[in-house]
Amino acid sequence: MAGAAHQSYDGTYRGEPALPAASATRVVRHLRSGLTLRMTEAFGRTRIAVHGEVDLDTADTLLRVLADCLESTPAGVDVDLTGTGFFDCAGLNVLLRARAKARATGAELTVLAVSPAVSRLLALTHCDEVFPEAVVPAHLAAAKAPRRP
Protein backbone atom coordinates (compact mmCIF):
# COMPACT_ATOMS: atom_id res chain seq x y z
CA MET A 1 0.00 0.00 0.00
CA ALA A 2 1.31 3.43 -0.86
CA GLY A 3 2.04 6.00 1.86
CA ALA A 4 0.62 9.44 2.43
CA ALA A 5 1.33 12.28 0.04
CA HIS A 6 3.49 15.01 1.46
CA GLN A 7 2.60 18.32 -0.12
CA SER A 8 3.86 21.80 0.59
CA TYR A 9 1.85 24.82 -0.42
CA ASP A 10 4.98 26.37 -1.85
CA GLY A 11 4.43 23.97 -4.74
CA THR A 12 6.77 21.11 -3.87
CA TYR A 13 6.01 17.52 -3.00
CA ARG A 14 8.07 15.41 -0.68
CA GLY A 15 7.95 11.85 0.55
CA GLU A 16 6.03 8.86 -0.62
CA PRO A 17 3.65 8.72 -3.58
CA ALA A 18 0.05 9.82 -3.14
CA LEU A 19 -2.53 7.40 -1.82
CA PRO A 20 -5.08 5.93 -4.18
CA ALA A 21 -8.28 7.93 -4.59
CA ALA A 22 -10.16 5.53 -2.27
CA SER A 23 -8.03 6.56 0.69
CA ALA A 24 -9.15 9.33 3.01
CA THR A 25 -5.85 10.55 4.52
CA ARG A 26 -3.57 13.34 3.28
CA VAL A 27 -0.51 14.93 4.82
CA VAL A 28 0.69 18.46 4.09
CA ARG A 29 4.05 19.69 5.36
CA HIS A 30 5.44 23.19 5.48
CA LEU A 31 8.96 22.43 4.28
CA ARG A 32 10.79 25.27 6.03
CA SER A 33 9.28 24.81 9.48
CA GLY A 34 8.21 21.18 9.60
CA LEU A 35 4.57 22.03 10.40
CA THR A 36 2.56 18.91 9.57
CA LEU A 37 -1.16 18.81 8.84
CA ARG A 38 -2.80 15.39 8.64
CA MET A 39 -6.29 15.35 7.12
CA THR A 40 -8.59 12.38 7.60
CA GLU A 41 -12.02 12.23 6.01
CA ALA A 42 -14.81 10.26 7.65
CA PHE A 43 -18.60 10.51 7.78
CA GLY A 44 -18.64 13.56 5.49
CA ARG A 45 -16.28 15.60 7.69
CA THR A 46 -12.55 16.23 7.64
CA ARG A 47 -10.41 16.05 10.77
CA ILE A 48 -7.18 18.07 10.62
CA ALA A 49 -4.48 17.20 13.16
CA VAL A 50 -1.92 20.01 13.39
CA HIS A 51 1.61 19.22 14.61
CA GLY A 52 4.31 21.85 15.00
CA GLU A 53 4.37 25.62 15.29
CA VAL A 54 1.76 27.93 13.80
CA ASP A 55 3.16 31.43 13.32
CA LEU A 56 3.39 34.13 10.67
CA ASP A 57 5.54 31.86 8.48
CA THR A 58 3.19 28.86 8.58
CA ALA A 59 -0.24 30.44 9.02
CA ASP A 60 -0.89 30.71 5.27
CA THR A 61 -0.39 26.96 4.86
CA LEU A 62 -2.93 26.26 7.60
CA LEU A 63 -5.39 28.73 6.06
CA ARG A 64 -5.12 27.14 2.62
CA VAL A 65 -5.62 23.66 4.02
CA LEU A 66 -8.64 24.76 6.07
CA ALA A 67 -10.14 26.52 3.04
CA ASP A 68 -9.57 23.46 0.81
CA CYS A 69 -11.12 21.15 3.39
CA LEU A 70 -14.13 23.41 3.90
CA GLU A 71 -14.72 23.36 0.14
CA SER A 72 -14.29 19.61 -0.25
CA THR A 73 -16.25 18.57 2.86
CA PRO A 74 -19.09 21.04 3.27
CA ALA A 75 -20.48 19.12 6.27
CA GLY A 76 -17.60 20.52 8.28
CA VAL A 77 -14.05 20.42 9.51
CA ASP A 78 -12.77 19.38 12.94
CA VAL A 79 -9.39 20.76 14.01
CA ASP A 80 -7.12 19.07 16.56
CA LEU A 81 -4.42 21.43 17.84
CA THR A 82 -3.05 19.21 20.63
CA GLY A 83 0.20 18.75 18.72
CA THR A 84 0.79 22.50 18.43
CA GLY A 85 3.69 23.67 20.60
CA PHE A 86 3.55 27.33 19.55
CA PHE A 87 0.52 29.26 18.33
CA ASP A 88 0.50 33.03 17.89
CA CYS A 89 -1.99 35.64 16.69
CA ALA A 90 -1.37 34.68 13.05
CA GLY A 91 -2.73 31.22 13.85
CA LEU A 92 -5.67 32.70 15.74
CA ASN A 93 -6.45 34.92 12.76
CA VAL A 94 -6.48 31.82 10.54
CA LEU A 95 -9.00 30.10 12.81
CA LEU A 96 -11.24 33.16 12.90
CA ARG A 97 -11.07 33.63 9.10
CA ALA A 98 -11.80 29.94 8.49
CA ARG A 99 -14.71 30.08 10.95
CA ALA A 100 -16.16 33.08 9.11
CA LYS A 101 -15.80 31.28 5.76
CA ALA A 102 -17.47 28.18 7.20
CA ARG A 103 -20.39 30.15 8.59
CA ALA A 104 -20.84 32.02 5.29
CA THR A 105 -21.12 28.73 3.40
CA GLY A 106 -23.23 26.90 5.99
CA ALA A 107 -20.41 24.57 7.01
CA GLU A 108 -19.13 23.97 10.51
CA LEU A 109 -15.61 24.52 11.83
CA THR A 110 -14.98 22.90 15.20
CA VAL A 111 -11.77 23.14 17.22
CA LEU A 112 -11.92 19.84 19.09
CA ALA A 113 -8.87 19.93 21.29
CA VAL A 114 -5.95 22.26 21.88
CA SER A 115 -2.53 22.31 23.45
CA PRO A 116 -1.88 24.43 26.55
CA ALA A 117 -0.22 27.08 24.32
CA VAL A 118 -3.33 27.41 22.15
CA SER A 119 -5.61 27.38 25.18
CA ARG A 120 -3.68 30.25 26.74
CA LEU A 121 -3.97 32.40 23.60
CA LEU A 122 -7.68 31.64 23.27
CA ALA A 123 -8.23 32.63 26.91
CA LEU A 124 -6.15 35.83 26.70
CA THR A 125 -8.07 37.01 23.64
CA HIS A 126 -11.46 35.79 24.91
CA CYS A 127 -11.71 33.58 21.85
CA ASP A 128 -12.35 30.63 24.14
CA GLU A 129 -15.92 31.93 23.96
CA VAL A 130 -15.82 31.67 20.15
CA PHE A 131 -14.42 28.11 20.28
CA PRO A 132 -16.02 26.73 23.49
CA GLU A 133 -15.44 23.12 22.47
CA ALA A 134 -11.65 23.68 22.42
CA VAL A 135 -10.34 21.96 25.53
CA VAL A 136 -6.95 20.78 26.67
CA PRO A 137 -7.01 16.98 27.09
CA ALA A 138 -6.38 15.82 30.67
CA HIS A 139 -3.05 14.16 29.82
CA LEU A 140 -1.69 17.45 28.41
CA ALA A 141 -3.13 19.57 31.22
CA ALA A 142 -1.55 17.31 33.86
CA ALA A 143 1.81 17.45 32.13
CA LYS A 144 1.82 21.25 32.21
CA ALA A 145 0.31 21.73 35.66
CA PRO A 146 2.71 23.36 38.13
CA ARG A 147 3.90 21.14 40.93
CA ARG A 148 3.52 22.20 44.52
CA PRO A 149 6.20 21.32 47.07
Summarize pLDDT for 36-57 with one digit per residue, the tens: 999 999 888 999 999 999 999 9
Tell me, what CATH number does 33's domain have?
A: 3.30.750.24
Gap between the Cα atoms of 111 and 130, Å rounded: 10
In this predicted structure, what is the pLDDT of residue 23? 46
In this predicted structure, what is the pLDDT of residue 37? 97
Contact in structure between 71 and 77 (CB atoms under 8 Å): no
Whether the predicted pLDDT of 12 surpasses 50: no
Residue 112 lies in a domain: yes
In this predicted structure, what is the pLDDT of residue 144? 58
Q: Which domain holds residue 32?
A: 22-143
Residue 1 lies in a domain: no
Residue 6 lies in a domain: no
Give residue 135's pLDDT band: very low, low, confident or very high (50, 70, 90): confident
The percent of residues in the chain predicted with pLDDT above 70, rounded, is: 78
Residue 131 lies in a domain: yes
Residue 103 lies in a domain: yes
Total-model pTM: 0.78
Residue 9 lies in a domain: no
In this predicted structure, what is the pLDDT of residue 142? 67
Neighbouring C-alpha atoms within 13 Å toward the C-beta of 63: 15
> In residues, how long is the chain?
149
Q: Which of 28, 24, 87, 23 has its CA nearest to residue 56?
A: 87
The percent of residues in the chain predicted with pLDDT above 90, rounded, is: 65
In this predicted structure, what is the pLDDT of residue 143? 64
Summarize pLDDT for 64-101 with one digit per residue, the tens: 999 999 999 878 999 999 999 999 999 999 999 999 99
Residue 17 lies in a domain: no
In this predicted structure, what is the pLDDT of residue 89? 96
Task: For 79-102, give the DSSP string.
Answer: EEEEEEEEE-HHHHHHHHHHHHHH
Q: Structurally, how many domains does the chain consist of?
A: 1
Selected residue with higher pLDDT from 20 and 87: 87
Residue 13 lies in a domain: no
